[in-house]
Structures are given as structure tokens and as C-alpha cells.
Amino acid sequence: MTETATDSAVAARYRDPALASLSATSSVIEQQLRHRSVRAFLGDPVTDDQLTAIVAAASSAPTSSNLQTWSVVAVRDVDRKARLARLAGGQAFIEAAPLFLLWVADLSRARGLAAAAGTRVEATDYLESTLLGVIDAALAAQNAIVAAESLGLGTVCVGGARNHPEEIAAEVGLPSGAFVVFGLAVGVPDPAEPAGVKPRLPQSVVLHHETYSPPSGEDLAAYDERLSGYNATYGLGGGWRERVLARLVGPASMAGRHRLRAQLERLGLISR
């Protein structure tokens, strides 16, 4: 049997002999399997037409009760990208990318509707509504990522936008009741970038049937070995468990995000 494009993509995504092919597939699934983070970009711009198409795809994502509690800020200005890069952990690829999208959990529109109608929307003060905005923004952004990649562009999500949420909100003029959930650098990938498709946890770890089953130590160890091999290919050290434990060890590993609850409250997302 000859290897199909899907087989090749599955092999790269999992590096797991237990899942070497998919019986059900499509061109969309093949594209999603090939997803990788891109941190090196060519100088080509992202056009207005491409941006319009990307946001149209984002707008087509699910949204709870059609509330549409998200917005996106498109940043191309070189100086503003430099300031945002500094606030997001000094990540130079933000400056290099021709387009930086800030995905916003946005309760301000609903509050504006209430003010115009002379009423109140007290539910926006609760954690559930903050979660609605975060989920809406994340779903919209994932649609945008798939759309961008279908246009030949590359992306990388930037959680560092939550390092200094108040400063970033001020930089792009967000109203009370809105905050940046994460950023997304977008551009034409530089083919010379030393990066590939990073293997993910096996489905035996993440897929549960009917009830939750804790992962086996053997499955986690096997994944650690596969990821360590991938990392070594690109001059990186360590495996998955080591990374998880280091990243979640405590406030010192959170790049300032341990203060997020108080910052969100000051930004108008009370989250009771």
C-alpha cells in the first residue's frame, strides 16, 4: 500500500505506531493535522482581502446564545507591534510578523446595549460571562487559524498577551469589560525556520469513552520518548512531563499571570 497524504500527516502528528492512518478523512482534516506554530515570517504582507476572509471564518465559529462576546484587534503598525512584543514577553517574532491579531473577550458591547436601552445586564459581572467571552474568542481564533493556513499563511498563538493585560488593553484602547485573551502572529512562513509538526499526546490519553480513565504510565512514557526525539531534532532538550511540571510549578513560572484575577476586575470583568 502506498502512503497517502493523510497517513503522512498522521504519522507526523502522533509518531505513534498505534495510530498510523485515518479511515475517515478530508482535505480539512489533512490541513489541520499539518498545523504547526510559525515563529519566522517572510516580508510579504497579509492583505486586507486575506484579513477579511480570516475574520469571516472567525465569525462563523460557534458562539453561546449568539451573544458574540468577542472582538479582534488587527495590528500592523511597526511601533505598536514592538510595544506589544515587549509587553508579551519580548518575543521578537511579534515584531517580525506583518500582522498581529489580538483576540478579545468583549462584554463591553452588551453593556453598551444596556446603557442605550436604559437597563442593566448584571450577568456580565459573573464568572460565567467572562468564560463566555474567553470561549467565544478562542473558538473564533481557531477558525481564523484554519482559514489563515488554508490561504498559505502561518500563525502562532501568544499567551504572553496576558502577562500585562492592563497595559495591552490601554495600548489598543479597549473599553471597560474587554481584555485580550491571547495574540496571534500571522504571516507567510519562512521555509528556512527549523521547526516541524510537534507530536501530540496519544488518543489513549485524551479520548475517554463514557467515563474518564486516568492515563497509563506506559502511554505517558512512550509519548515523552517521542516528544524528546522531536525536541532533539531541533536542538531542544527535555520531554513533556518535565515541561508540564516546570511550567505549572507555581506563581514564579506564570510570567505575572498569577495576578490575572485582580487585573481582570480592574478591566471591568468582575467574574464573581
Q: How far is CA 12 from the centre of its chain?
A: 20
For the segment 202-213, the average pLDDT, to the nearest whole number, is 97
pTM of the predicted protein model:
0.96
Q: In angstroms, rounded to a whole number, what is the distance separating the alpha carbons of residues 225 and 211? A: 28
Q: State the pLDDT at residue 223.
A: 97
pLDDT (tens digit per residue) in 228-255: 999 999 999 889 999 999 999 999 999 9
pLDDT (tens digit per residue) in 142-154: 999 999 999 999 9
Q: State the pLDDT at residue 1.
A: 40
pLDDT surpasses 80 at 182: yes
pLDDT (tens digit per residue) in 28-63: 999 999 999 999 999 999 999 999 999 999 999 999
Domains and CATH numbers, the chain: 5-10+15-32+197-233 (no CATH), 36-195+257-266 (3.40.109.10)
Average pLDDT of the chain?
96
Which residue matches cell numbers 462576546? Answer: 69
pLDDT surpasses 70 at 2: no
Question: pLDDT-derived band of residue 3, with 50, 70 and 90 as boundaries?
Answer: low
Q: State the pLDDT at residue 4.
A: 83
What would the grid cell of residue 224 be? Answer: 515523552
Q: State the pLDDT at residue 125.
A: 97
Question: pLDDT-derived band of residue 5, with 50, 70 and 90 as boundaries?
Answer: confident
For the segment 213-220, the average pLDDT, to the nearest whole number, is 96
